[in-house]
Structure 1
Amino acid sequence: MDIQKYFESAETMDLAQDMLGHTFTYNSEKGKFSGIIVETEAYLGPIDMAAHSYNGRHTDANDPLYQSGGTIYIYSIHSWLDMDISIQKAGTPNGILIRALQPLDGLELMEQNRKKTGFDVTNGPAKWMSAFGIENKALSGTKLNDNNFIFSEKKVQTPKNILATPRIGVKNKEPWTSKNMRFIVEGNPYVSKLPKRDMNLDTYGWL
Protein backbone atom coordinates (compact mmCIF):
# COMPACT_ATOMS: atom_id res chain seq x y z
CA MET A 1 0.00 0.00 0.00
CA ASP A 2 1.33 3.42 -0.97
CA ILE A 3 0.36 5.21 2.22
CA GLN A 4 0.98 8.67 0.77
CA LYS A 5 -1.20 7.91 -2.25
CA TYR A 6 -3.94 6.55 0.01
CA PHE A 7 -4.09 9.78 2.02
CA GLU A 8 -3.73 12.06 -1.01
CA SER A 9 -5.98 10.56 -3.67
CA ALA A 10 -9.46 10.74 -2.10
CA GLU A 11 -11.65 13.37 -0.48
CA THR A 12 -10.88 14.01 3.20
CA MET A 13 -14.46 13.26 4.26
CA ASP A 14 -14.40 9.94 2.38
CA LEU A 15 -11.06 8.95 3.91
CA ALA A 16 -12.34 9.69 7.41
CA GLN A 17 -14.98 7.02 6.82
CA ASP A 18 -12.69 4.59 5.01
CA MET A 19 -10.18 4.61 7.88
CA LEU A 20 -12.75 2.93 10.13
CA GLY A 21 -11.86 -0.75 10.42
CA HIS A 22 -8.16 -0.29 9.64
CA THR A 23 -5.65 -0.98 12.39
CA PHE A 24 -3.34 1.63 13.88
CA THR A 25 -0.15 0.33 15.48
CA TYR A 26 2.54 1.98 17.60
CA ASN A 27 5.81 0.11 17.94
CA SER A 28 7.25 1.67 21.08
CA GLU A 29 10.24 0.97 23.29
CA LYS A 30 7.83 -0.54 25.82
CA GLY A 31 6.17 -2.86 23.33
CA LYS A 32 3.63 -3.05 20.54
CA PHE A 33 0.30 -1.29 20.86
CA SER A 34 -2.45 -1.59 18.28
CA GLY A 35 -6.16 -1.09 17.84
CA ILE A 36 -8.89 -0.89 15.23
CA ILE A 37 -9.98 2.64 14.33
CA VAL A 38 -13.64 3.08 15.33
CA GLU A 39 -14.04 6.87 15.33
CA THR A 40 -12.58 9.73 13.28
CA GLU A 41 -13.16 13.43 12.64
CA ALA A 42 -12.39 15.29 9.42
CA TYR A 43 -10.89 18.79 9.39
CA LEU A 44 -10.90 20.73 6.13
CA GLY A 45 -7.95 23.04 6.58
CA PRO A 46 -8.16 26.74 5.64
CA ILE A 47 -11.96 26.88 5.17
CA ASP A 48 -12.79 24.99 8.38
CA MET A 49 -13.16 27.25 11.42
CA ALA A 50 -12.44 24.29 13.73
CA ALA A 51 -9.17 23.35 11.99
CA HIS A 52 -5.75 24.33 13.34
CA SER A 53 -4.90 25.56 9.84
CA TYR A 54 -8.01 27.72 9.46
CA ASN A 55 -7.39 30.79 7.31
CA GLY A 56 -3.97 29.41 6.35
CA ARG A 57 -2.56 29.53 9.88
CA HIS A 58 0.87 27.90 9.66
CA THR A 59 3.18 27.51 12.66
CA ASP A 60 6.09 25.28 13.57
CA ALA A 61 3.70 23.21 15.68
CA ASN A 62 1.06 22.58 13.00
CA ASP A 63 3.55 22.26 10.14
CA PRO A 64 2.95 18.48 9.86
CA LEU A 65 -0.56 19.29 8.52
CA TYR A 66 1.14 21.02 5.59
CA GLN A 67 3.28 18.00 4.76
CA SER A 68 2.44 15.11 2.45
CA GLY A 69 -0.53 12.87 3.21
CA GLY A 70 0.15 10.36 5.97
CA THR A 71 2.23 12.68 8.20
CA ILE A 72 1.64 12.42 11.96
CA TYR A 73 0.51 15.60 13.74
CA ILE A 74 0.56 15.43 17.55
CA TYR A 75 -0.75 18.42 19.49
CA SER A 76 -1.88 19.30 22.98
CA ILE A 77 -5.37 20.27 24.12
CA HIS A 78 -5.67 21.23 27.81
CA SER A 79 -2.51 19.24 28.70
CA TRP A 80 -3.80 16.17 26.81
CA LEU A 81 -2.30 14.92 23.55
CA ASP A 82 -4.29 14.19 20.39
CA MET A 83 -3.20 12.90 16.98
CA ASP A 84 -4.22 13.87 13.44
CA ILE A 85 -3.06 12.37 10.18
CA SER A 86 -2.34 14.93 7.46
CA ILE A 87 -4.55 14.48 4.42
CA GLN A 88 -4.07 15.64 0.81
CA LYS A 89 -0.88 16.70 -0.94
CA ALA A 90 1.75 18.86 0.75
CA GLY A 91 0.52 22.42 1.09
CA THR A 92 -3.14 21.48 1.59
CA PRO A 93 -3.43 21.26 5.38
CA ASN A 94 -6.38 18.92 5.90
CA GLY A 95 -6.35 16.49 8.79
CA ILE A 96 -8.20 13.52 10.24
CA LEU A 97 -8.31 13.11 14.00
CA ILE A 98 -8.20 9.51 15.24
CA ARG A 99 -10.72 9.72 18.06
CA ALA A 100 -11.02 6.14 19.33
CA LEU A 101 -9.63 2.63 18.92
CA GLN A 102 -10.78 -0.87 19.82
CA PRO A 103 -7.68 -2.47 21.43
CA LEU A 104 -5.85 -5.38 19.82
CA ASP A 105 -2.21 -5.71 20.95
CA GLY A 106 -0.84 -4.55 24.27
CA LEU A 107 -4.10 -4.31 26.22
CA GLU A 108 -2.47 -5.15 29.56
CA LEU A 109 0.06 -2.34 29.13
CA MET A 110 -2.70 0.02 27.98
CA GLU A 111 -4.65 -0.68 31.17
CA GLN A 112 -1.53 0.00 33.25
CA ASN A 113 -0.84 3.25 31.39
CA ARG A 114 -4.43 4.43 31.79
CA LYS A 115 -5.07 2.92 35.22
CA LYS A 116 -8.44 1.94 33.74
CA THR A 117 -10.06 -1.18 32.33
CA GLY A 118 -12.91 -1.87 29.93
CA PHE A 119 -14.08 0.45 27.20
CA ASP A 120 -12.73 3.51 29.02
CA VAL A 121 -9.15 2.54 28.13
CA THR A 122 -9.23 3.84 24.55
CA ASN A 123 -12.63 5.50 24.00
CA GLY A 124 -11.36 9.00 23.28
CA PRO A 125 -8.54 10.76 21.42
CA ALA A 126 -6.43 11.58 24.46
CA LYS A 127 -7.32 8.28 26.14
CA TRP A 128 -5.91 6.00 23.47
CA MET A 129 -2.80 8.18 23.19
CA SER A 130 -2.25 7.81 26.92
CA ALA A 131 -3.00 4.07 26.72
CA PHE A 132 -0.36 3.71 23.99
CA GLY A 133 2.15 5.49 26.23
CA ILE A 134 2.56 8.52 23.94
CA GLU A 135 3.58 11.26 26.35
CA ASN A 136 5.05 13.99 24.16
CA LYS A 137 5.14 15.41 20.64
CA ALA A 138 8.52 13.93 19.71
CA LEU A 139 7.07 11.86 16.86
CA SER A 140 4.97 14.68 15.39
CA GLY A 141 6.08 15.20 11.80
CA THR A 142 7.06 11.56 11.24
CA LYS A 143 5.47 9.54 8.45
CA LEU A 144 3.01 6.71 8.83
CA ASN A 145 4.47 3.31 7.95
CA ASP A 146 8.04 4.69 7.94
CA ASN A 147 8.86 4.63 11.63
CA ASN A 148 6.90 3.92 14.79
CA PHE A 149 3.33 4.24 13.52
CA ILE A 150 1.73 1.74 11.13
CA PHE A 151 -1.61 2.03 9.34
CA SER A 152 -2.83 -1.31 8.01
CA GLU A 153 -2.99 -1.86 4.28
CA LYS A 154 -6.43 -3.42 4.51
CA LYS A 155 -9.37 -3.24 6.88
CA VAL A 156 -9.39 -6.02 9.46
CA GLN A 157 -13.07 -5.36 10.18
CA THR A 158 -15.87 -3.84 8.10
CA PRO A 159 -18.39 -1.55 9.80
CA LYS A 160 -21.99 -2.69 9.44
CA ASN A 161 -23.06 0.93 9.54
CA ILE A 162 -21.18 4.23 9.75
CA LEU A 163 -22.90 7.12 11.49
CA ALA A 164 -21.99 10.74 10.71
CA THR A 165 -22.45 13.25 13.53
CA PRO A 166 -21.22 16.74 14.42
CA ARG A 167 -17.68 16.84 15.78
CA ILE A 168 -17.14 16.92 19.54
CA GLY A 169 -15.95 20.07 21.28
CA VAL A 170 -16.40 22.40 18.31
CA LYS A 171 -18.28 25.26 19.94
CA ASN A 172 -19.44 28.60 18.54
CA LYS A 173 -18.05 27.96 15.06
CA GLU A 174 -21.22 27.76 12.98
CA PRO A 175 -21.87 26.52 10.38
CA TRP A 176 -18.93 24.23 11.15
CA THR A 177 -20.16 23.27 14.62
CA SER A 178 -23.19 21.48 13.17
CA LYS A 179 -21.60 19.81 10.14
CA ASN A 180 -21.57 16.01 10.30
CA MET A 181 -17.80 15.49 10.12
CA ARG A 182 -17.37 12.88 12.87
CA PHE A 183 -17.68 9.26 11.78
CA ILE A 184 -18.25 6.28 14.05
CA VAL A 185 -18.76 2.55 13.77
CA GLU A 186 -22.37 2.43 14.93
CA GLY A 187 -22.70 0.52 18.20
CA ASN A 188 -18.99 0.05 18.83
CA PRO A 189 -18.54 0.37 22.62
CA TYR A 190 -15.12 2.04 22.24
CA VAL A 191 -16.66 5.08 20.51
CA SER A 192 -16.26 8.13 22.76
CA LYS A 193 -19.21 9.37 24.81
CA LEU A 194 -21.41 6.49 23.60
CA PRO A 195 -24.38 5.82 25.89
CA LYS A 196 -24.64 2.23 27.10
CA ARG A 197 -28.03 1.85 25.45
CA ASP A 198 -26.39 2.45 22.05
CA MET A 199 -23.65 -0.17 22.49
CA ASN A 200 -23.80 -3.34 20.43
CA LEU A 201 -22.02 -5.84 22.68
CA ASP A 202 -22.65 -8.77 20.32
CA THR A 203 -20.82 -7.68 17.18
CA TYR A 204 -19.30 -4.33 18.30
CA GLY A 205 -20.84 -2.93 15.10
CA TRP A 206 -18.82 -5.03 12.64
CA LEU A 207 -20.19 -7.20 9.85
Structure 2
Amino acid sequence: MDIQNYFENNETMDIAKDMLGHTFTYNSDQGIFSGIIVETEAYLGIKDMAAHSYNGRHTKANDPLYQPGGTIYIYSIHSWLDMDISIQKAGVPNGILIRGIQPLKGLEMMEENRHKTGFDVSNGPAKWIRSFGIRDKQLSGTFLNSDNFIFSTKKVQIPKNILATPRIGVPNKEPWTSKKMRFIVEGNPYVSKIYKKDMDLDSYGWL
Protein backbone atom coordinates (compact mmCIF):
# COMPACT_ATOMS: atom_id res chain seq x y z
CA MET A 1 0.00 0.00 0.00
CA ASP A 2 1.20 3.48 -0.87
CA ILE A 3 0.37 5.48 2.26
CA GLN A 4 0.02 8.82 0.52
CA ASN A 5 -2.21 7.28 -2.15
CA TYR A 6 -4.36 5.62 0.56
CA PHE A 7 -4.97 8.90 2.39
CA GLU A 8 -5.38 11.05 -0.73
CA ASN A 9 -7.39 9.12 -3.29
CA ASN A 10 -10.50 8.02 -1.44
CA GLU A 11 -13.41 9.86 0.15
CA THR A 12 -12.53 11.13 3.63
CA MET A 13 -15.53 9.40 5.23
CA ASP A 14 -14.62 6.09 3.55
CA ILE A 15 -11.03 6.34 4.77
CA ALA A 16 -12.26 7.00 8.34
CA LYS A 17 -14.25 3.75 8.19
CA ASP A 18 -11.50 1.76 6.54
CA MET A 19 -8.89 2.79 9.15
CA LEU A 20 -10.73 0.67 11.72
CA GLY A 21 -8.83 -2.58 12.16
CA HIS A 22 -5.46 -1.19 11.03
CA THR A 23 -2.65 -0.91 13.56
CA PHE A 24 -1.03 2.34 14.63
CA THR A 25 2.49 2.10 15.99
CA TYR A 26 4.77 4.64 17.66
CA ASN A 27 8.50 3.97 17.78
CA SER A 28 9.47 6.08 20.79
CA ASP A 29 12.49 6.57 23.02
CA GLN A 30 10.53 4.71 25.69
CA GLY A 31 9.90 1.71 23.44
CA ILE A 32 7.38 0.50 20.87
CA PHE A 33 3.72 1.27 21.40
CA SER A 34 1.13 -0.29 19.11
CA GLY A 35 -2.61 -0.79 18.98
CA ILE A 36 -5.56 -1.41 16.68
CA ILE A 37 -7.63 1.61 15.66
CA VAL A 38 -11.21 1.13 16.91
CA GLU A 39 -12.67 4.65 16.62
CA THR A 40 -12.22 7.56 14.20
CA GLU A 41 -13.86 10.90 13.38
CA ALA A 42 -13.83 12.60 9.99
CA TYR A 43 -13.44 16.36 9.51
CA LEU A 44 -14.19 17.84 6.10
CA GLY A 45 -11.96 20.87 6.10
CA ILE A 46 -12.97 24.31 4.90
CA LYS A 47 -16.74 23.66 4.79
CA ASP A 48 -16.90 21.77 8.12
CA MET A 49 -17.78 24.10 10.99
CA ALA A 50 -16.15 21.71 13.49
CA ALA A 51 -12.83 21.48 11.61
CA HIS A 52 -9.74 23.44 12.63
CA SER A 53 -9.44 24.54 8.99
CA TYR A 54 -13.05 25.76 8.72
CA ASN A 55 -13.43 28.71 6.38
CA GLY A 56 -9.82 28.30 5.23
CA ARG A 57 -8.23 28.98 8.60
CA HIS A 58 -4.52 28.28 8.17
CA THR A 59 -2.01 28.82 10.97
CA LYS A 60 1.45 27.55 11.78
CA ALA A 61 -0.12 25.10 14.24
CA ASN A 62 -2.68 23.57 11.86
CA ASP A 63 -0.41 23.65 8.80
CA PRO A 64 -0.02 19.83 8.84
CA LEU A 65 -3.68 19.59 7.74
CA TYR A 66 -2.68 21.41 4.56
CA GLN A 67 0.17 18.99 3.85
CA PRO A 68 -0.06 15.76 1.80
CA GLY A 69 -2.37 12.99 3.01
CA GLY A 70 -0.75 10.94 5.76
CA THR A 71 0.78 13.90 7.61
CA ILE A 72 0.49 13.85 11.43
CA TYR A 73 -1.31 16.79 13.10
CA ILE A 74 -0.95 16.96 16.89
CA TYR A 75 -2.85 19.69 18.73
CA SER A 76 -3.89 20.58 22.25
CA ILE A 77 -7.42 20.67 23.66
CA HIS A 78 -7.78 21.79 27.28
CA SER A 79 -4.13 20.87 28.05
CA TRP A 80 -4.56 17.40 26.50
CA LEU A 81 -3.19 16.33 23.11
CA ASP A 82 -5.14 14.85 20.19
CA MET A 83 -3.93 13.54 16.85
CA ASP A 84 -5.38 13.83 13.36
CA ILE A 85 -4.09 12.41 10.10
CA SER A 86 -4.29 14.84 7.19
CA ILE A 87 -6.52 13.52 4.41
CA GLN A 88 -6.61 14.42 0.71
CA LYS A 89 -3.96 16.13 -1.37
CA ALA A 90 -1.85 19.05 -0.12
CA GLY A 91 -3.96 22.18 0.16
CA VAL A 92 -7.19 20.31 0.99
CA PRO A 93 -7.23 20.44 4.81
CA ASN A 94 -9.38 17.45 5.71
CA GLY A 95 -8.47 15.34 8.72
CA ILE A 96 -9.33 12.17 10.60
CA LEU A 97 -9.06 12.09 14.37
CA ILE A 98 -7.95 8.78 15.90
CA ARG A 99 -10.23 8.47 18.93
CA GLY A 100 -9.65 5.00 20.34
CA ILE A 101 -6.98 2.29 20.21
CA GLN A 102 -7.00 -1.31 21.46
CA PRO A 103 -3.48 -1.99 22.82
CA LEU A 104 -1.21 -4.57 21.21
CA LYS A 105 2.37 -3.77 22.24
CA GLY A 106 3.70 -1.82 25.19
CA LEU A 107 0.66 -2.27 27.44
CA GLU A 108 2.64 -2.15 30.70
CA MET A 109 4.29 1.11 29.65
CA MET A 110 0.91 2.46 28.56
CA GLU A 111 -0.53 1.70 32.01
CA GLU A 112 2.42 3.44 33.66
CA ASN A 113 2.07 6.49 31.43
CA ARG A 114 -1.66 6.77 32.11
CA HIS A 115 -1.63 5.61 35.75
CA LYS A 116 -4.64 3.54 34.68
CA THR A 117 -5.41 -0.07 33.84
CA GLY A 118 -8.12 -1.75 31.81
CA PHE A 119 -10.02 -0.13 28.98
CA ASP A 120 -9.47 3.35 30.40
CA VAL A 121 -5.85 3.20 29.24
CA SER A 122 -6.66 4.13 25.64
CA ASN A 123 -10.43 4.54 25.20
CA GLY A 124 -10.30 8.16 24.07
CA PRO A 125 -8.26 10.45 21.82
CA ALA A 126 -6.22 12.13 24.55
CA LYS A 127 -5.99 8.93 26.59
CA TRP A 128 -4.24 6.81 23.98
CA ILE A 129 -1.86 9.68 23.15
CA ARG A 130 -0.84 9.98 26.77
CA SER A 131 -0.58 6.20 27.12
CA PHE A 132 1.83 6.19 24.15
CA GLY A 133 4.01 8.66 26.07
CA ILE A 134 3.42 11.58 23.69
CA ARG A 135 3.73 14.75 25.74
CA ASP A 136 4.26 17.50 23.17
CA LYS A 137 3.62 18.50 19.55
CA GLN A 138 7.20 17.91 18.43
CA LEU A 139 6.20 15.24 15.89
CA SER A 140 3.33 17.23 14.42
CA GLY A 141 4.03 17.62 10.71
CA THR A 142 5.89 14.32 10.36
CA PHE A 143 4.71 11.78 7.82
CA LEU A 144 3.23 8.35 8.47
CA ASN A 145 5.52 5.39 7.73
CA SER A 146 8.58 7.58 7.20
CA ASP A 147 9.19 8.85 10.73
CA ASN A 148 8.11 7.63 14.20
CA PHE A 149 4.51 6.67 13.38
CA ILE A 150 3.56 3.58 11.39
CA PHE A 151 0.12 2.80 9.94
CA SER A 152 -0.22 -0.85 8.91
CA THR A 153 -0.68 -1.44 5.21
CA LYS A 154 -3.27 -4.13 5.93
CA LYS A 155 -5.99 -4.61 8.52
CA VAL A 156 -5.09 -7.00 11.31
CA GLN A 157 -8.74 -7.32 12.37
CA ILE A 158 -12.05 -7.02 10.49
CA PRO A 159 -14.94 -5.32 12.33
CA LYS A 160 -18.15 -7.32 12.60
CA ASN A 161 -20.07 -4.07 12.32
CA ILE A 162 -19.14 -0.41 11.99
CA LEU A 163 -21.48 2.10 13.61
CA ALA A 164 -21.67 5.70 12.37
CA THR A 165 -22.62 8.25 15.04
CA PRO A 166 -22.44 12.03 15.48
CA ARG A 167 -19.02 13.30 16.52
CA ILE A 168 -18.27 13.95 20.18
CA GLY A 169 -17.72 17.46 21.51
CA VAL A 170 -19.20 19.31 18.54
CA PRO A 171 -22.03 21.37 20.05
CA ASN A 172 -23.84 24.28 18.39
CA LYS A 173 -22.46 23.63 14.92
CA GLU A 174 -25.57 22.47 13.10
CA PRO A 175 -25.98 20.92 10.62
CA TRP A 176 -22.50 19.57 11.37
CA THR A 177 -23.26 18.64 14.99
CA SER A 178 -25.73 15.94 13.92
CA LYS A 179 -23.82 14.51 10.96
CA LYS A 180 -22.74 10.91 11.52
CA MET A 181 -19.02 11.33 11.02
CA ARG A 182 -17.70 9.22 13.94
CA PHE A 183 -17.05 5.56 13.19
CA ILE A 184 -16.63 2.83 15.78
CA VAL A 185 -16.09 -0.92 15.92
CA GLU A 186 -19.43 -1.84 17.48
CA GLY A 187 -18.93 -3.43 20.90
CA ASN A 188 -15.22 -2.77 21.20
CA PRO A 189 -14.53 -1.83 24.84
CA TYR A 190 -11.77 0.62 23.85
CA VAL A 191 -14.29 2.89 22.10
CA SER A 192 -14.72 6.13 24.03
CA LYS A 193 -17.86 6.67 26.09
CA ILE A 194 -19.22 3.16 25.48
CA TYR A 195 -21.65 1.74 28.03
CA LYS A 196 -20.71 -1.54 29.70
CA LYS A 197 -23.94 -3.11 28.47
CA ASP A 198 -22.85 -2.41 24.89
CA MET A 199 -19.40 -4.00 25.21
CA ASP A 200 -18.69 -7.25 23.38
CA LEU A 201 -16.20 -8.80 25.79
CA ASP A 202 -16.01 -12.07 23.82
CA SER A 203 -14.72 -10.88 20.43
CA TYR A 204 -14.27 -7.13 21.08
CA GLY A 205 -16.38 -6.57 17.97
CA TRP A 206 -14.05 -8.35 15.52
CA LEU A 207 -14.91 -11.17 13.14
TM (norm. structure 2) is 1.00
Which digits, 9 at most, give the CA deviation of each residue in 1:114-138, with x for residues without a partner? 0000000000000000000000000
SS of alignment partner, residue 105 of structure 2: coil
Q: Distance in 1 between matches of 2:11 and 2:134?
A: 29
> Which amino acid letter does the alignment assign opposite residue 102 of structure 2?
Q
Which residue number in structure 2 is paired with residue 140 of structure 1? 140
Task: Return the offset for 1:171.
Answer: 0.5
Percent identity over paired residues:
82
Which residue number in structure 2 is paired with residue 60 of structure 1? 60
> Which amino acid letter does the alignment assign opposite residue 77 of structure 1?
I
Which digits, 9 at most, give the CA deviation of each residue in 1:15-69, with x for residues without a partner? 0000000000000001000000000000000000000000000000000000000
Which digits, 9 at most, give the CA deviation of each residue in 1:95-117, with x for residues without a partner? 00000000000000000000000
Q: Distance in 2 between matches of 1:64 and 1:169?
A: 22
Instruction: Tell me if 1:19 matches 2:15.
Output: no
Q: Distance in 2 between matches of 1:9 and 1:206?
A: 27
Pairing 1:46-57 to 2, within 5 Å after superposition: 46-57=46-57
Aligned residue pair count: 207
Instruction: Tell me if 1:196 matches 2:196.
Output: yes
SS of alignment partner, residue 50 of structure 1: coil
Which residue number in structure 1 is paired with residue 33 of structure 2? 33
Q: Distance in 2 between matches of 1:2 and 1:148?
A: 17
Q: Distance in 2 between matches of 1:113 and 1:89?
A: 35
Instruction: Tell me if 1:117 matches 2:117.
Output: yes
Q: Distance in 1 between matches of 2:163 and 2:30?
A: 35
SS of alignment partner, residue 91 of structure 1: coil
Pairing 1:61-76 to 2, within 5 Å after superposition: 61-76=61-76
Q: Distance in 2 between matches of 1:20 and 1:9?
A: 18
Gaps in structure 2 of 5+ consecutive residues: none
Q: Distance in 2 between matches of 1:61 and 1:171?
A: 23
Task: Return the offset for 1:157.
Answer: 0.0
| 4+ residue segments displaced more than 6 Å | none
Task: Return the offset for 1:194.
Answer: 0.2
Gaps in structure 1 of 5+ consecutive residues: none
Task: Return the offset for 1:200.
Answer: 0.2
Q: Root-mean-square deviation (CA), in Å?
A: 0.2
Which digits, 9 at most, give the CA deviation of each residue in 1:131-155, with x for residues without a partner? 0000000000000000100000000
